[in-house]
Amino acid sequence: MRRRRREALPLPQAAGGHDFALPLLAAMAFLAPAVGVPHEEMLQDTLKSMLVAFATLVAALLFFWQRRRSTEPLRWHPVLLLPLGLAAYAAGSMAWSHTYLAGVETVRWTLFALLLWLGLNTLTREREREPLLALGIHAGALVASLWTALQFWIDLRLFPQGPNPGSTFVNRNFFAEFAVCTLPFGVLLLARARSRTQAVLAAFGSGFVIVAILMTGTRAALIALWVLLGAMLPLLAWLYRRQLPFGRWDAGTRWLVVGVLLATVLGLGSLRTGNEKIVLEERGTTPLARALNRTQSIRADDPSLGLRRQMWRATGDMIAAHPLAGVGAGAWENEIPLHQAPGTQLETDYYAHNEFLQLVAEYGLAGWAFLGLLAAYLLQSAWRTLRLHGERAAEAPGRALVLCALLALFIVSNVGFPWRMASTGALFALCLAWLAASDARLGLAGAWAARPLPWRPRLALPLAALCVAGLLLAGQVSWIAARSEALIVRAARLALMVSAAPDPQAARWNAAKAEMLRLVREGTDLNPHYRKITPLVADALAGWGDWANATWIWESVLSSRPNIVAILTNAARGHASMGHADQAWALLLRAQAIQPDAPSVRSLEVILLARAGHERQALERARAGIAEGLYDFDLLNTAFLLGWRLGDSDAALQAMELRQQHWPEHRVEGWMQLGRFWLQAKGDRERAVDAFGRALALAPEASRAMLLRQMPEEVRGRLEGEARSRP
């Protein structure tokens, strides 16, 4: 039996006429990380997602339009089956899981596959086209790093920031996880530089990106950075020193490049921050100090890692409960409340902070297949890359550096969610496209071989029309997303503004409140599934006593995410406050089925029992909750009032003591309540005067006159007399 050949003859080269697609993809790789929104009315990743989607669809439109007279075959690669398989699963899970979230995942993986396929077909023709894409990726990271540096050094506030410095990504973790994955492309440009000027510019650019990563202090990105700088990149430089132009540099150029790189990292890395928020973190005031401090802080008992472990354990429970089909594409955030630790009433986060666990939890066997086949392909690609020789060895350095970029991506994917970020997800697709195109150029055989895809010119116009339809749909979705986000963010800002005022109930705020309600209603009408900000508005309304409007906002969240215990109990409190006992009890039963030991659930049970006239039973449930440590502010406040009303002084005083201990911001109010308790329930004037005096001493100067007016006359006179008698 004749042994199967390891390598086949090269596939026919794709025809020309589609040169515009690759420059457009390179421009997308540049723009997505480089640009951001200079205000808070659109999330940064919404803009980046729009850029990636539109660029991909326009590139596909140009690609098909320019193929309308060509008969040359296109390219297909089995790696395309991986995202297409997830897209198909996501589309199917729309029928039985969360329809909206599964639809979002369907679109995400379909665009991923389209971007991969376009990259495969535009990079197949010749290896010389790769530096253009590498330049786009590196330039995007370089501009994003510039924004990071300016935020670090001079506290530039052009883009809204969460944890500083976040570049155009709002969160420094998102930026750092992206930037470290781009570093191999900067190194590739450096290694391929044919002139001293090119080499110096590439060295400075790579060094500057490294400094920006150090500025963030993001530990996952730092681990990936140390792996690249300490092992992978030096090893590849030694292996391919004869195949790349850097191996033929003269001694002067080599020393100059090394000097520029070290001067950039050590020099810029030693400059102090001018951002007060970074100084207050006490994690280092220079990029180098910050990176060393954060690297040394990596330990098993780290609080941040502890929160992630909670999410990972809950995700593991989710996988065990749904091992075959998963919970449905994108449905992790919908299902996670059902699998969290007992007593948890809020989701720890919206993502598992581990892409591999979340994929398996959502996609079940389809997720396992994706990960297993992807690992098999990448391991085979690494093995084939190491074995390339002769003329084909020229492909090896680029392949090896792309594999380094994917290694960095997978490192940060263990503690974050970079696949779901537009810029990093697009980079993932382009890396796979680069490898697949290289496979096609090499004509490699086997299960993972690229193959010709028959092409007929008559397909060009229908496929171009399909791209136009996709662009129209993307435009519609983008408008809805941008508009709904803007409306909801404006509503939240109004809510925060009114809540921060000393008199939020004053009539002068009625117009602002009406505008806030109009904005949040229009925003939720456009997108009823946007639930990350609307609860802030509802909480503010509840604080003002507007339970009707607060409750419909909470219920709008529950219509999309029905398992969030804190939202269930909030909505139940709203109904209880409006006298809707049946609705309140129904929501309580739903919350008890998910987290019977959550403090807010026990508190709600006590409140509803008390409102229903079962005060003794309510007090017993409150005492049991206190004994078990299942209490919140409302339970303790209710227990105090019930103990007072039912003559159980021990229960009342225990509840108030715990309330004063754990909620110090309410101590003035608490001492006022204790003063009335001692005077009215116990007739103990001395203790009452002491409690009222403590309230007066803790209150701000501006509030003391109002507090005195609220005290009984006999107490007020005594406290005023004591105040006058002091020297």
pLDDT value at residue 127: 63
Residues with Cβ within 8 Å of residue 647, at least 6 apart in sequence: 681
Q: pLDDT: is 413 or 709 the higher one? A: 413
For residue 530, the model assigns a pLDDT of 82
Enter the tokens of residue 53.
């989607």
Which residue's structure tokens are 């959502």?
362
State whether residue 76 is helix, strand or coil. Answer: strand
- Structure token pair of residue 155: 């506290």
Give, to the nearest 10 degrees, the angle between helix 196-216 and helix 219-227: 140
Read off the pLDDT of each residue in 406-419 and give the average, rounded to a whole number.
96
For residue 9, what pLDDT is reported? 36
Residue 697 pLDDT > 70: yes
pLDDT computed for residue 1 by the predictor: 39
d(CA 595, CA 287) in angstroms, rounded, equals 44
Cβ 195 vs Cβ 151: under 8 Å: no
Gap between the Cα atoms of 652 and 605, Å rounded: 18
With cut-offs at 50, 70 and 90, classify the pLDDT of residue 8.
very low
- Alpha-carbon gap, residue 450 to 610, rounded angstroms: 70
At 707 the pLDDT is: 86
pLDDT band at residue 16 using 50, 70 and 90 as cut-offs: very low
The pair phi, psi for residue 230, each rounded to 5°, is -90, -20
* Residue 407, pLDDT above cutoff 70: yes
- Mapped onto helix, strand or coil, the DSSP state of residue 109 is helix
Best CA proximity match to 392, nearest among 446, 432, 444: 444
DSSP state of 71: -
Alpha helices (H) along 155-216: 172-191, 196-216
Average pLDDT on 541-569 reads: 93
Q: Distance between terminal CA atoms of the chain?
A: 111
Q: What is the pLDDT of residue 723?
A: 57
DSSP states of 323-351:
TTT-S-TTTHHHHGGGTSPTT--S-S-SS
- Per the prediction, the chain carries an average pLDDT of 91
pLDDT band at 531 (very low <50, low <70, confident <90, very high): confident
* DSSP codes, 595-644: -TT-HHHHHHHHHHHHHTT-HHHHHHHHHHHHHHT---HHHHHHHHHHHH
**Which of 189-198, 268-277, 501-510 shows the lowest mean pLDDT across its residues?**
501-510
The amino acid present at 654, given as its one-letter code, is: Q
CA separation for the pair 379, 377 (Å, rounded)? 6
The burial class, CB within 10 Å (0-12 / 13-18 / 19+), for 211 is buried
pLDDT at 183 over 80: yes
Structure tokens at 38: 């200079």
Is 344 a residue whose pLDDT tops 80?
A: no
Confidence (pLDDT) at 298 = 85
User: How many Å apart are CA 609 and CA 624, to the nearest integer?
Assistant: 14
**Residue 386: other Cβ atoms inside 10 A:** 12
Q: Give the pLDDT score at 7.
A: 46
Tokens of 587: 């929501």
Work out the pLDDT band at 696, boundaries 50, 70, 90.
confident
Residues 301-318 as b/e (b if ≥16 CB within 10 A, e otherwise) read: eeeebeebebbbebbebb
Q: How confident is the model at residue 518 (pLDDT cuts 50, 70, 90)?
A: very high
**According to the model, what pLDDT value does residue 715 have?**
81
Q: What is the pLDDT of residues 571-621, one digit of tens each?
A: 999 999 999 999 999 999 999 999 998 999 999 999 999 999 999 999 999
Position 514 confidence tier, pLDDT thresholds 50, 70, 90: very high
Q: Once rounded to an integer, what is the mean pLDDT over residues 198-205?
A: 96
Confidence band for 6, pLDDT divided at 50, 70 and 90:
very low
Predicted confidence (pLDDT) per residue in 642-686, tens digit: 999 999 999 999 999 999 999 999 999 999 999 999 988 888 888
Residue whose C-alpha is closest to residue 185's, from 138, 141, 116, 242: 138
> Residue 326 is encoded by which pair of tokens?
């998963």
Q: What would the pLDDT profile of 61-117 be if each residue is shown by its tens digit?
A: 999 999 988 888 999 999 999 999 999 999 999 999 999 999 999 999 999 999 999
Which of residues 443 and 427 earns the better pLDDT score? Answer: 427
**pLDDT at residue 40 is higher than 70:** yes
Q: What is the pLDDT of residue 725?
A: 54
Residue 2 pLDDT class (50, 70, 90 cuts): very low
What are φ and ψ of residue 456, in 5° steps? -120, 130
Q: How many CB atoms lie within 10 A of CB 595?
A: 24
Assign 3-class secondary structure to 520-533.
HHHHHHHCCCCCCC
